[in-house]
């Protein structure tokens, strides 16, 4: 039992947030915790007053969080593709100098099913103007690339690298060279450490001028805590310190000033207030943990290359770069659900599975014997909660034409999740199709974009733990 | 062909045979009556008092049919054995074997796909992974840790649902091998039924309102039937002794065990 320090309510030991007031009650030393999605709506019982993000100790002064640095970019990049990823190391190098690609690091779960991502070689303007243009049956013309192979690694590596080479103007380096470039860049301008591990404390970045910068150590890439030299694991969160987890170099302002950018991402704080504004230029803008902005680099829930924003005929699209946690869009109208779609309700990460496509888990004997079991009785879907990579916990069977999800009432009840509204969402089927609708919930229902999707002004996007409002001129 | 009645089951056995073809009783030493000499025949094989029988309660064919277990062993299955249900696709070709050992009747799973389910008559210990039938529902008891990675190989943390406090759970198994619902138990006990239970199957006509309960401890679990109308059946491991009044599910076939001798 955990007593909430804010409202004194008793909470179960595993609760991360107080059921009564939403205050984070988990131990501060725990591993990074997802920040629940919170919308700027005046419902104090649901919106937590202050939900801490998993930054424990940072070499950056706190105000860097909102990263005002990127609001000023003095000169436009001469290159025609001013991707924000263009002038920084793009990939983490694995230990031992192994260069990994985002695709190769796709979770087994993502690689297992059909559409973990799609790569659009040439953005197709013929896309529907639906809320979400997703891979699969509805927009085949937009999906030129085949699904990732189940191997996940080598077979799929080419695509993102092709994309990267197109975007990154600074070199045509091959993959192995990239890792070397990265290390060079990391070590540039600082004394060569005897261990060969970049020492962040010596990093000559003006942003690291805070008092913590004098601490002799490195930054944990997961939680931001200082890891003393010689330690292999972070004492705060237990993550293994990796040489490649060096914090990025000093942030280079983007090509376009915020005022000139055709679109902007406005950070929405947990209390609903607006924070930093991130410009989205007319070219491709790739965000991720490897982005130099501390806004992104300190979010352990962002993949190194997470998502790319780009314009096609004046419309803004976002492409999931095979990220672990995906890009989630808050749904407005009812949206159609397809097999293996993922969505978020409160703190829950859920998946829709069309029953006819669910694969057996109990093998047959191959002798004509049918596997015995409960009658399906018209069930049209399954809905698991996802608690780890490729790991599900509770599963609901969807059987009625309309199934309601809520904290207090409905067919699927999350009565321990204070971020789920009493009646939150509805999952339904008609005419052999499946739909998800939000029931004017406080915190919204977010659908993961498959491949890429159209983004409209005012849309709310969840990348990692960052919630953004989209502004488009 | 000249025959003699088996001294055990009274079946007609050709004279030259050394064992009764019906019950396996050895025919050696039996007096061979001379041809033409008058002999008294049984009215029927079932006239003999058997040792045990199975009565088909519900399933393929004529309900109420009895299968007399008068031999040493009796195979049941879809393609082989004296207890044959050729239309029941839930049965393996060789499914179960009813046999005697030291005068006691046992049933043994012959490595069948779907197993043998025995109706519990008292609170019964079950293990992680055991499956049971309540009404038409096939449920698996699971207690192990869920596992699962939360950090990917590129050190990105997975933004997932909160983990349940306990790992005790029931997983529904659909016909055809797909899994259905999965209920995580709150506390140490879970009730299953049609309504007002922790896990409810409102569309199951054969499940009772409150059907059964499973109590968990770190060491294992116990399943208790809550005086349900149709009973709670647990899949047996390997073999087990049968007693008078036992009920067994083999595929769709529900059989009652009646032991008539000791």
Distance between CA atoms of residues A65 and A78, nearest Å: 28
Largest CA distance in chain B: 94
pLDDT, tens digit, 9 for 90 and up, residues B176-190: 999 999 999 999 999
Separation CA A18–CA A7 (nearest Å)? 8
Distances (CA, A) of B109 to A67, B140, B231: 67, 18, 21
User: Among candidates A54, A55, A64, which has minimal Cα distance to A208?
Assistant: A64
Using CA atoms, how far apart are residues A460 and A455, in angstroms rounded to an integer? 9
CB pair distance less than 8 Å for B152 and A389: yes
A-chain residue closest to B135, CA distance = A374
Tell me whether residues B138 and A387 touch, CB distance under 8 A. Answer: no
| Alpha-carbon distance B22 to nearest alpha carbon in chain A (angstroms) | 28
Q: Which residues of A touch B162 (CB under 8 A)?
A: 14-16, 347-348, 387, 416-417
> Whole-angstrom Cα distance, residue A82 to residue B258?
84
What is the mean predicted confidence (pLDDT) over A261-275? 89
**Which chain A residues contact residue B183 at CB under 8 A?**
394
Q: What are the beta bridge partners of residue A460?
A: A469
Q: What is the pLDDT of residues B153-178, one digit of tens each?
A: 999 999 999 999 889 999 999 999 99
DSSP B199-259: EE-TT-TTS-SEEEEEEEETTEEEEEE-S-SS-EEEEPPSEEE--TT-EEEETTEEEEEEE
User: Considering only alpha carbons, which residue of chain A is nearest residue B78?
Assistant: A369
CA distance A34 to chain B (A): 6
CA distances from B147 to A391, A393, B182, B183 (A): 7, 10, 16, 17
Q: How many CB atoms lie within 10 A of CB B149?
A: 14
Percent pLDDT > 70 in chain A is: 46
With an 8 Å Cβ cutoff, is A347 touching chain B? yes
Q: Is A217 on the interface with B (CB under 8 A)?
A: no
Percent of chain B with pLDDT over 70: 92
Minimal CA separation from A308 to chain B, in Å? 17
- Distance, in Å, from the CA atom of B9 to the CA atom of A471, rounded to the nearest integer, reads 90
* Cα A170 to Cα B233: distance, rounded to the nearest angstrom: 69
Q: How far apart are CA A376 and CA A370, in angstroms?
A: 14
pLDDT in tens, A46-79: 333 343 333 333 333 333 333 333 333 333 333 3
Is the pTM higher than 0.80? The answer reads: no
- Closest residue by Cα to residue A285 from A299, A296, A274: A296
Q: Specify the pLDDT at position B36.
A: 55
Q: 3-state class of A162 per DSSP?
A: helix
DSSP single-letter state for residue A354: E
SS3 call for A384: strand
Contacts of A339 in chain B (CB under 8 A): none
**Does A95 lie at the interface with B, CB-CB under 8 angstroms?**
no
Determine whether the interchain pair A372/B171 forms a contact, defined as Cβ–Cβ distance below 8 Å. no
- A316, A279, A221, A288: which is closest to A85 by C-alpha? A288
**CA B230 remoteness from chain centre:** 14
Best CA proximity match to A445, nearest among A332, A319, A282: A332
Q: What is the pLDDT of residue A403?
A: 97
Q: What percent of chain A has pLDDT over 90?
A: 37
Asked if pLDDT for residue A194 goes beyond 80, the answer is: no
Could you tell me the pLDDT band of residue B131, with boundaries at 50, 70 and 90? very high
Mean pLDDT, residues A349-368: 94
| DSSP-assigned letter for residue A226 | E
- Judge contact between A422 and A441, C-beta under 8 A: no
pLDDT over threshold 90, residue A235: no
The predicted pLDDT at position B9 comes to 77
| Predicted confidence band of residue B85 (pLDDT cuts 50, 70, 90) | very high
Query: Contact, B69 vs B53, CB < 8 A?
Result: yes
Interface of A with B in 113-172 (CB under 8 A): none
Regarding predicted confidence, which is higher, A334 or A409? A334
- What are the start-end ranges of the H helices in A157-236? 158-167, 175-187
Do B176 and A360 make contact, defined as CB atoms within 8 angstroms? yes
Tens of pLDDT, residue by residue over B192-231, are 999 999 999 999 999 999 999 999 998 889 999 999 999 9
Residues A421, A440: Cα–Cα separation, whole Å: 9
Whether the pLDDT of residue A386 is over 90: the answer is yes
Contact (Cβ atoms closer than 8 angstroms) between residue A423 and residue A433: no
| Mean pLDDT, residues A85-97 taken together | 34
CB contact under 8 A, B78 and A369: yes
Whole-number average pLDDT of chain A:
65
- pLDDT for the residue A296: 84
Tell which residue, A373, A403, A372, A363, has the closest CA to residue B172. A373
What does the alpha-carbon distance between residue A11 and residue B54 come to, in Å, rounded to a whole number? 55
- Pairwise CB contact (< 8 Å): B155 & A221: yes
Q: What CA–CA distance (Å, rounded) separates A32 from A11?
A: 20
Radius of gyration of chain A (CA): 23
Residues B12 and B5: beta-carbon distance below 8 Å: yes
Four-residue CA torsion sign, A335, A336, A341, A346? positive
User: In chain A, which among 376-405 make CB contacts under 8 A with chain B?
Assistant: 376-377, 379, 382, 384-397, 399
Could you tell me if residue B227 is left (phi over 0), alpha (psi between -120 and 50 degrees) or otherwise beta? left
């Amino acid at each position: 039992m955990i007593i909430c320090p804010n409202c004194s309510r008793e909470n179960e030991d595993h609760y991360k947030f107080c059921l009564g007031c939403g205050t984070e009650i988990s131990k501060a030393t725990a591993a990074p915790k997802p920040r629940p999605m919170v919308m700027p709506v005046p419902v104090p019982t649901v919106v937590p007053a202050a939900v801490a993000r998993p930054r424990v100790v940072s070499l950056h002064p706190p105000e860097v969080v909102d990263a005002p640095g990127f609001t000023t970019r003095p000169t436009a990049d001469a290159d025609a593709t001013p991707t924000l990823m263009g002038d920084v190391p793009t990939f983490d190098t694995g230990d031992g100098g192994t260069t990994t690609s985002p695709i190769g690091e796709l979770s087994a779960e993502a690689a297992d099913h059909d559409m973990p991502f799609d790569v659009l070689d040439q953005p197709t303007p013929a896309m529907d103007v639906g809320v979400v243009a997703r891979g699969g049956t509805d927009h085949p013309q937009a999906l030129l690339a085949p699904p990732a192979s189940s191997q996940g690694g080598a077979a799929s590596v080419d695509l993102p690298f092709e994309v990267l080479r197109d975007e990154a103007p600074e070199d045509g380096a091959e993959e192995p060279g990239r890792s070397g470039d990265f290390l060079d860049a990391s070590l540039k301008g600082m004394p060569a450490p005897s261990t060969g591990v970049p020492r962040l404390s010596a990093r000559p970045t003006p942003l690291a001028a805070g008092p913590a910068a004098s601490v002799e150590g490195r930054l944990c890439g997961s939680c931001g805590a200082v890891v003393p030299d010689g330690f292999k694991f972070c004492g705060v969160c237990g993550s293994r310190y990796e040489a490649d987890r060096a914090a990025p170099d000093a942030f280079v302002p983007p090509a376009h000033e915020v005022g000139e950018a055709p679109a902007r991402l406005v950070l929405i704080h947990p209390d609903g207030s607006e924070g930093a504004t991130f410009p989205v230029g007319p070219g491709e803008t790739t965000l991720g943990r490897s982005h130099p902005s501390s806004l992104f680099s300190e979010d352990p829930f962002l993949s190194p290359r997470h998502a790319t924003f780009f314009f096609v005929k004046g419309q803004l699209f976002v492409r999931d770069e095979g990220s672990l946690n995906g890009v989630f869009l808050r749904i407005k109208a009812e949206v159609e659900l397809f097999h293996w779609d993922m969505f978020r309700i409160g703190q829950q990460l859920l998946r829709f599975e069309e029953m006819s496509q669910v694969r057996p888990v109990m093998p047959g004997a191959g002798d004509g014997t049918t596997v015995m079991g409960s009658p399906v009785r018209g069930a049209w879907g399954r809905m698991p909660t996802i608690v780890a990579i490729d790991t599900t916990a509770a599963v609901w069977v969807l059987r009625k034409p309309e199934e309601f999800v809520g904290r207090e009432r409905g067919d699927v009840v999350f009565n321990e999740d204070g971020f789920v509204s009493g009646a939150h969402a509805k999952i339904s089927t008609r005419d052999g199709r499946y739909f998800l609708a939000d029931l004017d919930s406080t915190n919204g229902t977010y659908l993961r974009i498959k491949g890429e999707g159209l983004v409209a002004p005012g849309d709310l996007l969840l990348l990692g733990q960052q919630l953004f409002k989209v502004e488009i001129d | 062909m000249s025959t003699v009645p088996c001294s055990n089951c009274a079946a007609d056995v050709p004279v030259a045979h050394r064992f009764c073809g019906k019950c396996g009783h050895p025919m050696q030493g039996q007096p061979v009556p001379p041809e033409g000499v008058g002999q008294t025949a049984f009215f029927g094989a079932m006239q003999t008092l058997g040792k045990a029988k199975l009565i088909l309660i519900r399933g393929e064919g004529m309900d109420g049919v009895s299968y007399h277990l008068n031999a040493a062993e009796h195979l049941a299955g879809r393609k082989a054995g004296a207890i044959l249900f050729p239309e029941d696709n839930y049965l393996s070709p060789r499914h179960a074997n009813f046999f005697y050992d030291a005068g006691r009747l046992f049933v043994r799973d012959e490595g069948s796909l779907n197993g043998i389910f025995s109706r519990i008559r008292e609170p019964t210990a079950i293990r992680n992974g055991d499956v049971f039938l309540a009404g038409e529902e096939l449920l698996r008891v699971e207690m192990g840790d869920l596992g699962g990675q939360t950090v990917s190989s590129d050190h990105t943390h997975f933004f997932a649902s909160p983990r349940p406090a306990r790992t005790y759970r029931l997983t529904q198994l659909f016909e055809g091998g797909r899994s259905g619902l999965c209920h995580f138990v709150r506390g140490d006990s879970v009730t299953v039924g049609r309504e007002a239970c922790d896990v409810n199957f409102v569309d199951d006509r054969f499940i009772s309102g409150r059907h059964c309960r499973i109590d968990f401890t770190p060491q294992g679990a116990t399943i208790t039937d809550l005086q349900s109308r149709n009973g709670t059946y647990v899949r047996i491991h390997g073999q087990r002794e049968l007693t008078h009044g036992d009920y067994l599910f083999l595929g769709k076939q529900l059989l009652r065990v009646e032991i008539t001798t000791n």
